[in-house]
Amino acid sequence: MTSSPHSHADAGLRVAFLASGSRGNTLAVCSADDVVLVDAGLSARETRRRLAEAAIDESRIRAILLTHEHSDHVAGVRVLAKQLDVPVLATEGTINGSRHLAAVAVMERVRPDCDFTIGGLRIRAFRTSHDAMEPVGYVFEDARGVRFGLASDTGHVPAEALEVLESCTIVGLEANHDVGMLRTGSYPRFLKERILSRTGHLSNDDAASVLERLIAGGVSSVCALHLSEQNNSPQIVRRTLGCCVDRLGADIEVMIASQHTTVICSA
């Protein structure tokens, strides 16, 4: 279910999608005592403004995790990590692939398919399929066993990733583009082919296919991520995913993350 930005942070696992889109991505995973940020594509100032707006206490932030090295996910990480005085965690490929990480004071390496803990959160990185050095998604589990899974910036969802996502209560799932809009739009051919490839971005139809599996697994809330401002719209995403939900008679909440406003869900 969704919560207002000012709900008490101790009310279970809470995920704040602070920004999602090609101009910057960041989200906060909040448990009873700890907060972990994922990605830092906004400026440090704007990220901190949105954290305050979402009533997230900066003193509870333990780390910043990165999914991959593209600038809309890492551009603000050096300054933000310094200001918050927290470590940055990423895969070896991500660390080697970004100039933004060269001056980060404390870098820790993440290995896909291995569990680790930050505060009261148990975390697993899993491999995604994107044109980056070593991209990953994450699953977070709180002390009650409630799980949030993140799968964005991926051309398809590998079987291993789908397996871990099926156990999640809340899922952030990419729904980047409407295929028809992309094919007939103004993007150059090479860019269209990149987006449509197996190492590009999930389409709305792809997201609906994944959602069907997640519904079978018992997901309660799904938030669509990384919508293209040129090749998609919230209305199309809501219709596409809503048709899947209605066809299966599922009782789940479908939300849509924004580039400009924070979307919060909790369980």
What are the tens digits of pLDDT across the range 72-86? Answer: 999 999 999 999 999
- Do 14 and 264 contact (CB within 8 A), yes or no? yes
> Would you state the pLDDT for residue 5?
42
- Name the pLDDT band for 11 (thresholds 50, 70, 90): low
Helix (H/G/I), strand (E/B), else coil: 49: helix
The answer, yes or no, to whether residue 266 has pLDDT greater than 90, is: yes
> Would you state the pLDDT for residue 100?
86
Element (H, E) at 224: strand 221-225
Task: Output the average pLDDT for the chain.
Answer: 95
Exposure letters 236-249 (e unless 16+ CB within 10 A, then b) = bbbebbeebbeeee
- Tell which residue, 259, 266, 168, 179, has the closest CA to residue 210: 168
The answer, yes or no, to whether residue 3 has pLDDT greater than 80, is: no
- Name the pLDDT band for 6 (thresholds 50, 70, 90): very low
- Do 255 and 222 contact (CB within 8 A), yes or no? yes
CA distances to 25, 31, 72, 79, 94 from 264, rounded to whole Å, are 14, 13, 21, 25, 27
> Would you state the pLDDT for residue 9?
41
Which pLDDT tens digit goes with each residue over 232-256? 999 999 999 999 999 999 999 999 9
Phi, psi angle pair for 205, to nearest 5°:
-65, -40
> Would you state the pLDDT for residue 254?
97
The answer, yes or no, to whether residue 211 has pLDDT greater than 80, is: yes
Q: pTM of the predicted model, to two decimals?
A: 0.95
Q: Where are the domains of the chain?
A: 14-266
Instruction: Answer whether CATH 3.30.420.10 is correct for domain 14-266.
Output: no
Helix (H/G/I), strand (E/B), else coil: 114: coil
Distance between alpha carbon 43 and the CA centroid of its chain, in Å? 17
Which pLDDT tens digit goes with each residue over 124-161? 999 999 999 999 999 999 999 999 999 999 999 999 99
- Name the pLDDT band for 210 (thresholds 50, 70, 90): very high
Which pLDDT tens digit goes with each residue over 16-65? 999 999 999 999 999 989 999 999 999 999 999 999 999 999 999 999 99
- Tell which residue, 207, 200, 204, 131, has the closest CA to residue 165: 207
